[in-house]
Amino acid sequence: MADGKGTTCLMVILILGNIFGAAAGLALCALAIWVAVDEYKLYPISGVSGKDDIFAGAWIAIFTGFAFFCMCVFGILAAAMKSRALMLTYLILMLIIYIFECASCITAVTHRDYLVGNSNLVKKQMLKYYAADGDSGSRITLTWNKVMKEVECCGTDGPVDWIEYNSTFREMYGTDYPWPTHCCKRKNNYEVVNVEACKNGQNTTMFTKGCFNHIESVFSRYTWAISWYGFAVLMFMFWLLILAMVYYLIL
Amino acid sequence: MALLFYVVLCLSVWTGLCQIPVNNSPAINPSSLAAKLTSNSVILMPPSCYFDNLNILTCNSPTTCEIWLVTAIDTGVSNFDADKNKTYIDTLSPYPTAFSSNTSKKYFLTKLGLQKDYPCPVVAGTDYFRVGSDGSCSTPNCNGILPVGSTARFRYVLINPANKTVVAESLWSNNITLYPLKDPESIDNGFAGRSASMIVITSILCSFLALLLLLLLIMLIYVLCCREEKQEIQVPGSVRMYDTHNLKDPSPYVNRAYEDEPQRPTATSPIRLKSYTDYDLKKPATEL
């Protein structure tokens, strides 16, 4: 070959880039598994509304992350063997995986905007499904109870949500309780500290901040994991593929 | 003159013909209670210092006089003012029928307690009174919830428990409007706006993907039709260029000039003599 030294240099760069890409792909797979597992257990909020494609993006990213890993290992092989056929296979398969990963990133970030762009969707869902009958109602009720207890909050933007709007909860319990008893502070043995003061709204006996900040931060965390990290991996893979194309041309 | 006036006043009260007015009016509790105004209940300031400096001949001690609250909605104000001279005022408009139809009286009374329970200055812990704390109740003078979104006025009255007449009364409060319940279906949960990161990610990824596809296509087209096979320039004397083919796959050299021969002797099929006629033994050669 005419420029053997240049070819060897490019081969070394390609092999190093593929090693790094394999590690990045495996990390993407692991991160997507973390999102899919949903440690904060907030999936029902997105599932009941039908806008659960953050998790669909996570599932796609599990497979594309692992596929990136496998293809980068194959790319090391193809570059070392200086074979044109193998390099072409590598390029075409990497492109297909690239397309899927793009889809995952864009889906996750778009659906995050639908879900937590503002508090309306979460508020409407809470008012409609909290304390309602049926499968959706029970899932939403359990999720909200858990959030209110752990994050120490009440309502979406605050307890005033329960007062301003009609809701399934108000229709069932509204003559007595202005808001659910999970909004009240509890002692260590899970008893409410003071039910009457909580019904009056005394801020020493109930939680007065809204839960939307927490919900929004959790979904944003999941989305940034899938979309921004996927974006970073794709930017790196773009330049790697450009180099691979150049290598193929001079092989 | 003043004594006469006083005697006349006391006599009128004693006969139940007029009530001593007190210059306070109920108001919403100003402290930071989150539920002080809901769609069917209100939290008011208690009547702590309202009826303290009165000399009343009938229920004449804080241990006997009772404090009651009057809740009235639009025409109920005038209905109560018309009824307040009567005895047994607590039976005139019981709670279950107070707001039930267009012709009902639209006011009701509920008992707070004895006058001594509301001392002046106010004791911490009793500094609120919640109207509507009994929920949707059915006894005649329970502290029931108000109709949703209504505009109510309140008044504290001092009642003689003997014949349930109004002895003293505060002013009517201002109009207090309860929250009208909004329908959750009116919340618009549609398009929430695109965030900046969504625009950045989508646009950059799509454009890079398109670029990649384009470059791959160009590369494939170039490779398939425009590229010439690279000639390996044999530089004389350059040992690197020599392909040692006979060491790679040894094979016997075959001279192609003899292709038309029907049978070529090879290592595996040498020529076999079919028959040999020894002419010398058969016929001795004659000498010429």
Are the C-beta atoms of B73 and B146 separated by less than 8 Å? Answer: yes
> pLDDT > 70: what percent of chain B?
74
Residues 6+ apart with CB under 8 A from B125: none
Whether A200 sits inside 8 A of B202 (CB atoms) is: no
Q: Please state, rounded to an integer, the average pLDDT across all residues of chain A.
A: 93
pTM of the complete model? 0.78
- Give pLDDT tens digits for B130-165: 888 888 888 888 888 888 888 999 988 888 888 888
B35 to chain A nearest CA, in Å? 5
- For residue A142, the enclosing domain spans 119-209
CB contact residues (below 8 A), chain B span 189-218, against chain A: 189, 192-195, 197-198, 201-202, 204-206, 208-209, 211-213, 215-216
The residue-averaged pLDDT of B225-247 equals 64
What pLDDT, on the 0 to 100 scale, is given for residue A184? 92
Query: What ipTM does this complex have?
Result: 0.89
Would you say how long chain A is, in residues?
Answer: 251
Task: Give, for B153, the enclosing helix (H) or strand (E).
Answer: strand B151-160
Q: CA-to-CA distance for A162 and A180, rounded, in angstroms? A: 9
B188: chain A residues, CB-CB within 8 Å: 120
Q: CA-to-CA distance for A137 and A144, rounded, in angstroms? A: 11
pLDDT at A2 over 60: no
A208: chain B residues, CB-CB within 8 Å: 34
B107 to chain A nearest CA, in Å? 19
A108 and A6 assigned to the same domain: yes
A90 and A195 assigned to the same domain: no
pLDDT at B271 over 90: no
The residue-averaged pLDDT of B265-271 equals 65
What pLDDT, on the 0 to 100 scale, is given for residue A162? 92
- Give pLDDT tens digits for B163-220: 888 888 888 888 889 888 888 888 887 777 788 999 999 999 999 999 999 999 999 9
Q: CA-to-CA distance for A2 and B179, rounded, in angstroms? A: 85
Name the nearest CA neighbour of B162 among B66, B267, B34.
Answer: B66
Name the nearest CA neighbour of A60 among A89, A99, A23, A91.
Answer: A99
Whether A166 sits inside 8 A of B213 (CB atoms) is: no
HSE at residue A41, side-chain half, CA atoms within 13 A, is 12
A92 and A140 assigned to the same domain: no
Would you say how long chain B is, in residues?
Answer: 288
The residue-averaged pLDDT of A60-67 equals 96
A249: chain B residues, CB-CB within 8 Å: 219, 222-223
Confidence of residue A67 (pLDDT cuts 50, 70, 90): very high
Q: CA-to-CA distance for A10 and A250, rounded, in angstroms? A: 10
- State whether residue B34 sits within 8 Å of chain A by CB: yes
Q: Please state, rounded to an integer, the average pLDDT across all residues of chain B.
A: 78
The residue-averaged pLDDT of A41-69 equals 94
SS3 B115: helix
Does A214 map to a domain?
Answer: no
B24 to chain A nearest CA, in Å? 24
Domain count, chain A: 2
How many of the other CB atoms lie within 10 Å of CB of A224? 16
Q: Which of A82, A89, A102 to probe the B interface (max B CBs under 10 A)?
A: A102
What pLDDT, on the 0 to 100 scale, is given for residue B63? 74
pLDDT at B266 over 80: no
pLDDT at A40 over 90: yes
A42 and A25 assigned to the same domain: yes
- Give pLDDT tens digits for A169-225: 999 988 888 999 999 999 989 899 988 888 888 888 999 999 999 999 999 999 999
Which chain B residue's Cα is nearest to A49? B189
What pLDDT, on the 0 to 100 scale, is given for residue B6? 47
Whether B201 sits inside 8 A of A99 (CB atoms) is: no
Confidence of residue B275 (pLDDT cuts 50, 70, 90): confident
Does A7 map to a domain?
Answer: yes
A111 and A123 assigned to the same domain: no
Confidence of residue B288 (pLDDT cuts 50, 70, 90): low
Q: CA-to-CA distance for A108 and B82, rounded, in angstroms? A: 68
Which chain B residue's Cα is nearest to A94? B212
Q: CA-to-CA distance for B228 and B69, rounded, in angstroms? A: 103
B189: chain A residues, CB-CB within 8 Å: 120-121, 124
Are the C-beta atoms of A58 and A32 separated by less than 8 Å? Answer: yes
- Per domain, the residue ranges of chain B are 26-178
What are the beta bridge partners of residue B157?
A: B68, B169
What pLDDT, on the 0 to 100 scale, is given for residue B160? 84
A16 and A107 assigned to the same domain: yes
Whether B183 sits inside 8 A of A166 (CB atoms) is: yes
B205: chain A residues, CB-CB within 8 Å: 102, 105-106, 231, 234
Q: CA-to-CA distance for A245 and A95, rounded, in angstroms? A: 11
What pLDDT, on the 0 to 100 scale, is given for residue B232? 58
Does A169 map to a domain?
Answer: yes
Q: Where are the alpha helices (DSSP H) in A82-159?
A: 84-116, 120-129, 134-151
In whole angstroms, how far apart are CA B113 and each of A41, B36, B63, B75, B207? 49, 21, 10, 27, 76
A177: chain B residues, CB-CB within 8 Å: none
A64 and A176 assigned to the same domain: no
Does A228 map to a domain?
Answer: yes
Does A69 map to a domain?
Answer: yes
A74 and A139 assigned to the same domain: no
A16 and A111 assigned to the same domain: yes
User: Residue A245 is encoded by which pair of tokens?
Assistant: 């194309």
Burial A78-90 (b: 16+ CB within 10 A, else e): bbeeeeeebbbeb
What is the domain-level CATH number for residue A203? 1.10.1450
Confidence of residue B13 (pLDDT cuts 50, 70, 90): very low
